[in-house]
Structure 1
Amino acid sequence: MNFMQATRQEQYRNELEKYNVLLRQLEQKRMRLGWLRLGVFVATILITYKVFTTYGAAGFLPAIIGLASLLYLVSIDVVNNAKIRNTRMLIQINEEELRALNHQFGNREEGHHFLPKEHAYAADIDLFGPASIFQWLNRCYTEQGQTLLAQNLLHAQATELVLLRQDALKELTPMLDWRQQAQAFAMQKKITLATENRIQHWAAEEEKHFRHRGWKFVVIAYSFVTLSSAVAAMAGYIPGTIFSGLFLIYLITSVILSRNTVKPYVQLAGIVKEIAALQNFLSWFEKPSFTTPHLQTLQRSIKPELTSASLAIKKLKAILDRFDLRVSIVGVLFFNPFLLWDVRQMMALNRWRKENKTFLPLWFKAIAEVELLHSFSTLHFNEPQWCFPNLVTNDFTIDGTAIGHPLLPDAQRITNDFALKGKAKIDLITGSNMAGKSTFLRSLGVNVVLAQTGAPVCARSFTLSPVQLMSSMRIADNLAENTSTFYAELKKLRTVIEAVKTHEPLFILLDEILRGTNSFDRHKGSAALIQQLIKEDAVAVIATHDVELAQLEERYSSSVENYHFDVEVEGEELYFDYKLKPGVCRSINASLLMKKIGIEMTE
């Protein structure tokens, strides 16, 4: 762990200690409130009994005061419990970040369901799955945020957006407490795509019932009549039998009208907790006065001049909370028969939908983008020595110093400088087994992907022209499709060849191509593929054990360059430095490795 990471570790430990102290205080307060409620309850019973036995009806007064006091203490306890849950989430966040600094992140979402069946590079550079780039980078708790993160890893983003995000990250990174609280709000209840789809589907539907303004007068008049009859019955002006008949009419009327509210209730039922988490998250994002354009634009999208997303979502939650009363005894026997409760909530939902349906997609989009930025800013906070890439618009360029693989711990990560510029450029990398060729290719691939999302990259400096990454590194057979490993690789190489013919900017990474055939055909096919890539002005880095391919540098001196990873052999021990060097590898270690596992090699 380097000095900067040690500093970050100390910061997380300070945060952890702060929240542990706060948690102890809140839990002590909860205990005191519990004893206080018990005391008030016992005192209320004793005093009420004493007053009743002495003064009769006056005993209602201490009973009412005691009940009000209990309700007040319960409300304080509810708020305190919410703070306890929030504090525990903040403790969890800091514990996870301390583990992340030591490259322990196996408890996070793997994102394997985002891995496409076929993709230009995702499987080759471990974008998804256990110990993947997604699992390491992800700080998203909403499905919207996780989906956006996956899409950004799978598809290069526009340069304008990348630059806007870089500026936004520089503003967000120092805001540790704010970022962690936003994360805690997202953790309260996972906001799912199903919930978003449910709300948006309901919002897109045409209002069919209770949309006419006249219904407001009908509800008021109806309630006046029903409540007046109830008061008259209690006062003795209406006989009980007549009122019973009236109540039956009220009940039937409410049931008939409520049938038209069942569908929207079913659509929106059960999402109140997610709505609450959404409201807290949006409210928290509305508070800061951001200075960078991207954050300001996001903030304006959820907080236009006339209203705010958090206030609108709060209103929706209140409507849904009231709507839930329809399934209670009080709702069935009082609120609906006497107040047309369901109709009132349906009218409120219609008003809410009319006012906010056009903003809903913007709110969910903003949530996803904020979570994405939080993931990237956490990376920037944890790895401050990493750089933001410089994106250029000229011919193909990749030029970096101290390029490393982000999934390797600092103590194990060996970095390399690398530059490749222009068209029709092929870098051939030869090297011994386990010397670092494949890891280097993946280091290039991962950093190219990160550079085009807006995130910092694992390098001291990194310049890149916008480019589509393609690779063929990890090939597997497919029994379901009756496809051999060799044929699977041919299919992937065909995709590469078709792509280079479009002459779109491509950066190709190939590892041990045509490994599934004999050495003669492999050499012949590899040489032919390299010549075709040069012909199509393609840019590629190719790792191979076939040192004879290095001779292509003599024939295509302006296009082909040779590099290698070396190994030192001392007795029967191998020593790797994992440093990229110019030229062709001359050391061989396969025979020694085979001998070490027990294969009897003859001279």
Structure 2
Amino acid sequence: MSTSNREAFYLKHEDELTKEKANITRRKNTIGWTRVGVFALGLWGVVTVWPETGSALLIGIAAIAIFLALLNYSMRLQDQVNMLSALIRIHQEEREIGNHRFSNRYNGDNLAPRQHEYSADLDIFGRASLFQYIHRTTSEQGHRHFASWLLSPAPNAAIKARQKAALELSNEPGWGIHYQAIGQQEPVGRSIEEKLGLWLSKSPEFFPKTGWKLLAAIFPFISLACLVMHIAGLMSAPLFYLLVLVFVVIAFSITKMVIPQYQALDKIVPQLNTLSGKLRWIESSSFSADQLVTLKQQLHPAGKPAASASITGLRKILDRFDYRLNPLVFLPLNTFLLWDLRQVLSLEKWKSVHSADIGKWFETMAEMEALNSIGRLAFNHPGWTFPVLTEEQGDYSGASIGHPLIPESTRVNNDFSTSGKPAIALITGSNMAGKSTFLRSIGVNQVLAMCGAPVCASTLTVSNMRIMSSMRIADNLEENASTFYAELSKLKSIIESVNRFEPVFLLLDEILRGTNSHDRHTGSRALVMQLIRHNACGMLATHDLALTSLVEDYPKAIRNYHFDVSVSGEELYFDYRLKEGVCKSMNASILMKKIGIEL
């Protein structure tokens, strides 16, 4: 599917959803007016037949029953309207993202590690970041799970499994859009998982004890028998009211003991509905990719009900707890039936059955959200490819490699290939010619490859390597660290990883820029030679043309590349094409003249 066809896909489905929403909204409005009519007719009927109480009661009950049935139907229609609204928003958002207007989306800035090997250099999080562009996660768990994929390479087996799952999801975009829409209704947060975790960590107080079970079974018979006897005139009012007082004391003494559990799980029902809906959507689907099949199977283990049904059971218990919000209903229920005791017994029984499952349910939801993100990326970019993984060391070979965050209309792609160790690509070039962008293109695509996502290239074969970069260095006033010291700290980490022969791919941009030119050249030359001695691989962008002479000493380990510029008068023209060899044209003097420096 081309870019224009993708745009047409979202536009077509958005139009269909908008029409469906309008139809259901009209039906809902009709039901609303019908409810008003039923209420008016019921009231008129009761007034007309009064004082025939039997007929009036019959008409009133019938009117109330019809009214409640219509109300229930109207609420179901509203749920459909809410879902359609979410689906429409997603289609609109996808068209905006396709036009590279996505800066208003959640950017994961709070997920960015304070210190990381490449996150800041490659714009993984924050405004106009990779995460902001490609995530389709809706829960906090999903955000964090997908962020973890972008922050560290997965093993090859996991990458291949994710690729197959993402490819299958990319062929069913409607499935993933619906899954995302469910999550947007009431996004699941970490608070619900923390509340459930805290509740699960506490020992049950009621369920395992036989006495509480017997009390819950016997008490209603006694209390209701007293009520029937009083109504039948077999028990005097003073005795009955005295017994009711005893019932109240017993019931609300138990309520006082139950309240902490109720408060521990207060206000989680809306998010439980979302979690249940997302898991039900997975359970009801058919998959062929191994990872998707495994996720589905985890939701319905042998001998237990499906996860969505279990969560619905918990929600119903909590809904019954909420009867306390209506005193006219709760007071008689608790007084005569020990309502709170019955619910807490059900709650703790649920805990005993599902305590080991809850964590898996959240993990499954988050995993599917992450897979849905890379599946949508594959659908939206049919010209991209899933990379081939190789067991060879230091392999990075691709054609038409581009930066994913640059619009296709302005993006310039380049071919690049390196294999084996040691291998250092020295890249020289004019200012603004594209050196840093190219390094980031290489790095970001390696990050995508290592998380199982498609890459912005026509072909790409890579080894399993972790990116380590030194590109965007800033001082740290809080830690009293200068820019130069901050860069040295980063280079120290790189050297240590290389010395341990870890599988890393280095991206170094204008290193040691915070010192004088002599020390900078001496240090850069020494570092390149040290990296070669320790079988490192990577790229170094530099303005220091003297470094390029190292190819004479290490012809098998070093290759020179460059980006150049064409000059016409005082105008500069860039083609952003990677070429072999050393750059011969520089533009700094022209740029300095343009800002008013008299040379």
Q: TM-score range by the shorter chain?
A: over 0.9
**Match of residue 150 from structure 1:** 147
Secondary structure of 1:452's counterpart equals helix
Q: Does 1:220 align with 2:193?
A: no
1:42 partner letter: A
Q: Does 1:433 align with 2:431?
A: yes
2:557 partner letter: S
Once the two structures are superposed, residues 180-212 of structure 1 have per-residue CA deviations (whole angstroms, 9 ceiling, x without a partner) of 111111111111112112112222322122422
**Match of residue 529 from structure 2:** 531
**Match of residue 180 from structure 1:** 177
**Match of residue 465 from structure 1:** 463
2:208 partner letter: R
CA distance in 1 between counterparts of 2:353 and 2:439 reads 52
Once the two structures are superposed, residues 201-243 of structure 1 have per-residue CA deviations (whole angstroms, 9 ceiling, x without a partner) of 2223221224224433321210000111112222222222221
Q: Does 1:140 align with 2:137?
A: yes
Secondary structure of 1:579's counterpart equals coil
CA distance in 2 between counterparts of 1:363 and 1:179 reads 18
What is the aligned counterpart of 2:198 among 173, 198, 201?
Answer: 201
CA distance in 2 between counterparts of 1:336 and 1:398 reads 69
2:416 partner letter: F
Equivalent residues of 2:207, 2:349 under 8 A apart: no
**Match of residue 103 from structure 1:** 100
CA distance in 2 between counterparts of 1:210 and 1:394 reads 58
Once the two structures are superposed, residues 336-368 of structure 1 have per-residue CA deviations (whole angstroms, 9 ceiling, x without a partner) of 111111111111111111111111111111000
Equivalent residues of 1:210, 1:343 under 8 A apart: no
Q: Does 1:247 align with 2:244?
A: yes
Listed as ranges, the matches of 1:565-580 within 5 Å are 565-580=563-578
Equivalent residues of 2:426, 2:560 under 8 A apart: yes
**Match of residue 498 from structure 2:** 500
Equivalent residues of 1:326, 1:341 under 8 A apart: no
Equivalent residues of 1:142, 1:191 under 8 A apart: yes
User: When the two structures are superposed, what TM-score results if normalisation uses the length of structure 1?
Assistant: 0.98
Secondary structure of 2:518's counterpart equals helix
CA distance in 2 between counterparts of 1:83 and 1:578 reads 50
Give the superposition deviation at 1:586.
0.6
CA distance in 1 between counterparts of 2:410 and 2:134 reads 19
What is the aligned counterpart of 1:256 among 247, 253, 256?
Answer: 253
Q: Does 1:338 align with 2:328?
A: no
Equivalent residues of 1:209, 1:260 under 8 A apart: no
Equivalent residues of 1:222, 1:339 under 8 A apart: yes
Once the two structures are superposed, residues 22-46 of structure 1 have per-residue CA deviations (whole angstroms, 9 ceiling, x without a partner) of 1110111121111111111111111
Give the superposition deviation at 1:504.
1.1
CA distance in 1 between counterparts of 2:350 and 2:460 reads 49
CA distance in 2 between counterparts of 1:342 and 1:210 reads 13
1:87 partner letter: L
Identity %: 42
- Aligned pair count reads 598
1:383 partner letter: H
Equivalent residues of 1:105, 1:135 under 8 A apart: yes
Once the two structures are superposed, residues 137-159 of structure 1 have per-residue CA deviations (whole angstroms, 9 ceiling, x without a partner) of 11100111100011111111111
Secondary structure of 2:191's counterpart equals helix
**Match of residue 451 from structure 1:** 449
Listed as ranges, the matches of 1:312-323 within 5 Å are 312-323=310-321
**Match of residue 512 from structure 2:** 514
**Match of residue 279 from structure 2:** 282
Equivalent residues of 1:302, 1:363 under 8 A apart: yes
2:87 partner letter: L
Equivalent residues of 2:564, 2:586 under 8 A apart: no
Equivalent residues of 1:402, 1:415 under 8 A apart: yes
Secondary structure of 2:398's counterpart equals strand
Which structure 2 segments of 5+ residues have no match? none
1:384 partner letter: P
CA distance in 1 between counterparts of 2:147 and 2:506 reads 21
CA distance in 1 between counterparts of 2:61 and 2:448 reads 63
CA distance in 2 between counterparts of 1:223 and 1:56 reads 32
**Match of residue 416 from structure 1:** 414
**Match of residue 391 from structure 2:** 393
**Match of residue 191 from structure 1:** 188
CA distance in 1 between counterparts of 2:211 and 2:288 reads 47
CA distance in 2 between counterparts of 1:174 and 1:505 reads 34
User: When the two structures are superposed, what TM-score results if normalisation uses the length of structure 2?
Assistant: 0.98
2:517 partner letter: S
Secondary structure of 1:336's counterpart equals helix
**Match of residue 548 from structure 2:** 550
**Match of residue 592 from structure 2:** 594
CA distance in 2 between counterparts of 1:559 and 1:141 reads 46
Question: What is the CA RMSD across the aligned residues, in angstroms?
Answer: 1.2
CA distance in 1 between counterparts of 2:87 and 2:340 reads 39
**Match of residue 307 from structure 2:** 309
1:193 partner letter: R
Once the two structures are superposed, residues 368-412 of structure 1 have per-residue CA deviations (whole angstroms, 9 ceiling, x without a partner) of 010001111110010011000111112221111100000000011
Listed as ranges, the matches of 1:354-393 within 5 Å are 354-393=352-391
Q: Does 1:168 align with 2:165?
A: yes
2:560 partner letter: N
Secondary structure of 1:391's counterpart equals strand
CA distance in 2 between counterparts of 1:282 and 1:261 reads 30
CA distance in 2 between counterparts of 1:515 and 1:424 reads 25
1:132 partner letter: S
Equivalent residues of 2:317, 2:343 under 8 A apart: yes
Secondary structure of 2:412's counterpart equals coil
Equivalent residues of 2:384, 2:456 under 8 A apart: yes
CA distance in 2 between counterparts of 1:175 and 1:390 reads 23
**Match of residue 64 from structure 1:** 61
Farther-moved stretch of structure 1 (267-276 vs 237-246): 237-246
1:453 partner letter: C
Give the superposition deviation at 1:326.
3.0
CA distance in 2 between counterparts of 1:119 and 1:56 reads 78
CA distance in 1 between counterparts of 2:541 and 2:102 reads 30
CA distance in 1 between counterparts of 2:102 and 2:54 reads 65
1:559 partner letter: A
Secondary structure of 1:233's counterpart equals helix
Give the superposition deviation at 1:57.
3.3
**Match of residue 235 from structure 1:** 232
What is the aligned counterpart of 2:30 among 29, 32, 42?
Answer: 32
2:122 partner letter: I
CA distance in 2 between counterparts of 1:163 and 1:213 reads 52
CA distance in 1 between counterparts of 2:207 and 2:395 reads 62
CA distance in 1 between counterparts of 2:49 and 2:398 reads 85
Q: Does 1:73 align with 2:75?
A: no
CA distance in 2 between counterparts of 1:331 and 1:599 reads 83
Farther-moved stretch of structure 1 (326-335 vs 453-462): 326-335
Farther-moved stretch of structure 1 (270-279 vs 212-221): 212-221
